[in-house]
Chain A
Amino acid sequence: MKGDMQYDSSGRLRHFLTIEGLEKETLVHILDTAETFISFGKREIKKVPILRGKTVVNLFFENSTRTRTTFEIAAKRLSADVINLNPSRMSTSKGESVLDTVRNLEAMHTDLFVVRDAHSGAAYLIAQHVPSHVAIINAGDGRHAHPTQAMLDVFTIRQHKREFKNLRVAIVGDILHSRVARSQIHALNILGTPEVRVVAPKTLLPTEVERLGVHPYTDMRLGLKDVDVVIMLRLQLERMQGTLIASEQEYFTLYGLTAEKLAHASPDVMVMHPGPINRGLEIDSEVADGPHSVILNQVTNGIAVRMSIMAIVMGGQADRKQA
């Protein structure tokens, strides 16, 4: 029921709002398609005409240069026309609602919205109120979901580890506020990862986190023991309010990724981080730049994965427009 509105009546992906509720085949299809786009970035002519004549709006109610740029590059490589908008919440709170903004843009015959908002559920709300031929991709909503980031993370894992069925993965840091972690957990579980762990002090672990299908750890050395993948989350200090972590020093001592802690993991462990990195807070520079780190691969893969998702949600659009 929950994931249903992401599929059209023929079972094709029409919106990409959350990983939760998606079929394993859908995720694999996205990853396989992204694979074919990887080589494009290295060519002299980087464009394909898949979205020629289509208009993509990057609608970022919450600012993010990095994510928006990768979506913009992805859309342009698919030959779409791209418009970037950052309507401030100030102006929306002065009368124009999120839906008003979307309806206005829709009237300009746009085809795809890439939406980011600081509030959980925003992309879902918009998807409920657009006509059937308009697609929505969630580029991050509050603490809820950041599904394209999770897809590029599992893409990177698959590049290095080939499959998920024997993996132990640990996600470390602010699980409570992290939309990235929630989406990663769903993606890893759907793809058949046998063991997903979350590692954080109790203040940063959400209630009943086990119900998402993870094993919580508060001791990082135990949490990292024999894992094949470590995903470090960015700690947003402005959210910590002085009571979620006691101090940066103590946090780094306990949960910062150092070579010593990483030694508890499997010898061929890979280290990931969605960026931007707080060096010396979440992760030691030695590790971030070390041989296990795949952090820069993640950025490159981000474009291919977003091209794949855009191409797939737009794939069935012509039919939906007729219907």
Chain B
Amino acid sequence: MGLAITNGHVIDPANNIDGTHTLYINDGFVAGVGDPPEDFEAEREIDASGLIVCPGLIDIRARLREPGQEYKATLDSELSAAIAGGITTLCIPPDTYPVIDTPAMAQMIQQRAWQIGKSFIHPLGALTLGLKGEQLTNMYSLGEAGCVGVSNALEPVRDTVVMRRAMQYASTFDLTVFLNSQDPWLRGNGVVHEGEISTRLGLPAIPEAAETVGVARDLALIETTLARCHFNGLSTARAVDMLAHARATGLPVTADVTAHNLHLTEHDIGFFNTLCHVSPPLRGQGDRDRLRSALKEGVISVVCSDHQPHEPDAKLTPFSESEPGISGLETLLPLTLKLVDDGVLAMPEAIALLTVNPARILGIDSGHLGVGATADICIFDWEEHWVFDRHRMISRGRNNPFQNWEFRGRVVQTLTGGEPAYQR
């Protein structure tokens, strides 16, 4: 079955392609860009004139709430939202209920996603049993069952000996450890960045040091174990500088940033806007600017949604009682493209943050348009200006603070395995 996506502006950072080309797809795989492959017969055509054609997006951290919290969202609802946002591959943390700490759980979730179709799911396995920070999981078996890495999700591993051995054990099987490095004591019961806003609103605060102490501890352990590690959602300028230094000395470390931390600061909380209650918290202007420059420098190589859909009641409480997180699948691409519109990044750089870079960290053959790649494709209109309305989101969770933001660039069509999965 041949499909030609004609005359689109193809951007494939992995292969340095950035120009108007026709993309050829055969039996669900990329067959070529530019010149048609031999014997290619196009049974279908998609006219992509004036549109950008890029690899389907990869969201390195999204919580889909199934199993265990189906009152918030389901795999079905969230995979529909993902595909509408141009996302064809998702990596999910292990903090489902029950926790992904057995191969059976890992396989079950992948099978559910497979049945639904739409986007692919790659789970992370738990670093410790029940995420309790005490006993290591069967990481080898988790890896065999499809886990692309291990993580303790948002739960701290307080005991440094446990963390050190977890890194050693994971690296034995070449598994990346995904770290949420925050000092649990400094973090305490904090809900906002320690600064002007926490002081004004009288909200329990999370100091910058919660992140720098956490990252410093884990970097010291990485130095001794040389385990390959990925830092989830850095939020402070200080932590970015520490990561830059560690990378310069050759440590095998990478990091991502959430799309919202690139645009919002503590001041967006205004007067107790619970939609801006996120973890890690929104920080200061200087932190936001450093996170942006870190993308340009390549110190941080991935932008993710950190998708956390909630039922409305989770946010209709006093701020400190509200549940943290943003339903972000549908604003991941617009917020990243906004950095292009703002002149922070070139378009191919922005696309790389959402495709080939996360693919490399996850160790998966995805996020590029090389010959033989699975034809997961995102087609978007860079010239479309639109206003975001959270009440029209596809995700079950409408907890998104970017209401009425004006965005440039919108998904027109998403294909998975060469098949149309979403069309606006």
Contacts and interface: CB of A to CB of B under 8 A. Distances in A.
A105 interface: no
A83 B319 CA distance: 27
B199 A120 contact: no
A211 B199 contact: yes
A180 B16 CA distance: 61
A270 to B, nearest CB: 26
Given A117-B318, A143-B203, A1 B270 contact: yes
A260 interface: no
B317 A97 contact: yes
A125 B199 contact: no
B196 interface: yes
Interface stretch (A187-195, A202-210, A245-253, A303-311): A202-210
A2 B268 CA distance: 12
A72 to B, nearest CB: 24
B201 interface: yes
Contacts, number: 74
Contacts of A97: 313, 316-317
A129 B318 CA distance: 12
Nearest to A178: B202
A65 to B, nearest CB: 23
A234 interface: no
B205 interface: yes
Interface in A122-136: 122, 124-125, 129
Given A120-B320, A207-B195, A182 B271 contact: no
Interface string B190-217: 0000111011111101010000000000
B322 to A, nearest CB: 9
A121 B321 CA distance: 10
Interface string B402-417: 0000000000000000
Given A2-B270, A97-B313, A207-B205, A121 B200 contact: no
Nearest to B191: A120
Candidate in A98, A119, A122, A141 with the most chain B CB atoms within 10 angstroms: A119
B316 A121 contact: no
Instruction: Rank and list the top 3 A-B pairs by shortest CB-CB distance, nearest first.
Output: A143-B202, A119-B318, A121-B272
Given A121-B272, A125-B272, A144-B202, A98 B194 contact: no
Contact of A208 (B196, B201, B270, B313): B196
A145 B272 CA distance: 13
A322 to B, nearest CB: 28
Given A98-B318, A124-B272, A125-B316, A207 B199 contact: yes
A142 interface: yes
Interface string A211-249: 110000000000000000000000000000000000000
Given A121-B271, A125-B272, 19 more contacts: A1-B270, A2-B271, A20-B200, A99-B316, A99-B317, A119-B317, A120-B320, A121-B272, A121-B319, A124-B272, A129-B316, A142-B202, A144-B203, A145-B202, A206-B205, A207-B198, A207-B205, A208-B195, A211-B196
Contact of A179 (B202, B317, B318): B202
A57 B226 CA distance: 62
A119 B194 CA distance: 17
Nearest to A142: B202
Contacts of B271: 2, 121, 124
Interface string A82-119: 00000000000000011100000000000000000101
A182 B200 CA distance: 7
Interface of A: 1-2, 20, 97-99, 117, 119-122, 124-125, 129, 141-145, 177, 179, 182, 206-209, 211-212
Nearest to B208: A207
B320 A119 contact: yes
Contacts of B318: 98, 117, 119-122, 125, 141-142
Candidate in A1, A182, A206 with the most chain B CB atoms within 10 angstroms: A206
Nearest to A89: B321
Q: How large is the interface on B (under 10, 10 to 19, 20 to 34, 35 or more residues)?
A: 20 to 34
A182 B270 CA distance: 16
Nearest to A20: B200
A104 to B, nearest CB: 15
22 contacts: A2-B270, A97-B317, A99-B316, A119-B317, A119-B318, A119-B321, A120-B272, A120-B318, A120-B319, A121-B319, A124-B271, A125-B272, A143-B203, A144-B202, A206-B198, A206-B199, A206-B205, A207-B194, A207-B198, A207-B199, A211-B196, A211-B200
A142 B194 contact: no
A24 to B, nearest CB: 19
A120 B318 CA distance: 7
Contact of A120 (B194, B202, B313): B202
A32 to B, nearest CB: 28
B341 to A, nearest CB: 26
A99 B203 CA distance: 20
Contact of A98 (B196, B200, B317): B317
B174 to A, nearest CB: 43
Interface in B199-247: 199-203, 205, 207
A120 B201 CA distance: 7
A260 B320 CA distance: 41
A208 B272 CA distance: 19
Contacts of B195: 207-208
Candidate in B205, B207, B272 with the most chain A CB atoms within 10 angstroms: B272
B57 to A, nearest CB: 35
Contacts of A129: 316
B185 to A, nearest CB: 10
A212 B195 CA distance: 11
A182 B201 CA distance: 9
A124 B272 CA distance: 8
Nearest to A5: B271
A143 B189 CA distance: 14
A232 B317 CA distance: 32
Interface string B311-331: 001001111110000000000
Contacts of A212: 199-200
A122 B317 CA distance: 7
Contacts of B201: 120-121, 144
A211 B321 CA distance: 26
A130 B351 CA distance: 45
A120 B203 contact: yes
A228 B196 CA distance: 28
Contacts of A122: 318
Contacts of B316: 97, 99, 125, 129
A234 to B, nearest CB: 16
